[in-house]
Amino acid sequence: MVVMEKPDLPIPAWDASGALVPLGKLAVHRQGLRHPAVSVFVLRGQEILIQQRAAGKYHTPGLWANTCCTHPNWGESAAECAARRLGQELGISGLALRHVGQVEYRAEVPGVREPLIEHEVVEVFLGEAGWPLDLELDPGEVQAVRWVSLDDLRAEIAARPEAFTPWLRIYLEKHAAMIFRSSELAGSI
């Protein structure tokens, strides 16, 4: 089932006074407001599951990203959000996720109509998948997935950075040690 993205849905964001308030997602990204987010990396041995964002996304359409990333709903915990979005975007359920840390970044992202700004405080989760891992992609969110080693992913990003989301590039450049320290990829960092 294709569900069109609704960029006007409210997400939590910090306003000028520092209060966390619900604001429209597109307005948050137009203004570059600081807001909570969640990112998930699913691993299978030495490989990372990455996704290509759907062509209909309002920003970074068609770019490759980590397994799953999103904004929590108002009142939703980061852990609940991570599990929910894995199910919604990729059909993954029942995978044990562990919180590995928090990252804050600010980056311009290509939007469909205008450049936008992500200023996220991201709770990062890691999950280890076994064989087989059945996937059911939501085509409104994800157009493709693939497994890739950390070394190959870094080489691809170096060769074609424009094919990858700014946040994935930032995660691997600045935060890989934190993200993968407790996984089989720790030796590749």
The C-alpha atoms of residue 163 and residue 50 are separated, in whole angstroms, by: 12
Q: What is the pLDDT averaged over residues 166-187?
A: 89
Question: Does residue 170 register a pLDDT over 70?
Answer: yes
Which are the catalytic amino acids? Answer: 69, 120
Q: What is the third-level CATH fold of 10-182?
A: Nucleoside Triphosphate Pyrophosphohydrolase (3.90.79)
Q: What is the pLDDT averaged over residues 100-108?
A: 96
Q: Per-residue pLDDT tens for 106-157? A: 999 988 888 899 999 999 999 999 878 889 999 999 999 999 999 999 999 9
Q: What is the pLDDT averaged over residues 158-170?
A: 98
User: DSSP code of 174?
Assistant: H
Give the residue among 102, 116, 113, 115 at the shortest CA–CA distance from 32: 116
pTM of the prediction?
0.92
C-alpha dihedral, 110 to 41 to 103 to 112, nearest 10°? 10
Q: Per-residue pLDDT tens for 36-94? A: 999 999 999 999 999 999 999 989 999 999 999 999 998 999 999 999 999 999 999 99
Q: Give the pLDDT score at 146.
A: 97
Q: Which helix (H) or strand (E) holds 29?
A: helix 25-31
Q: Which residue has the higher pLDDT, 26 or 123?
A: 123
Question: Does residue 3 register a pLDDT over 90?
Answer: no
Buried b / exposed e along 110-128 (16+ C-beta atoms within 10 A): ebeeeebbbbbebbbbbbb
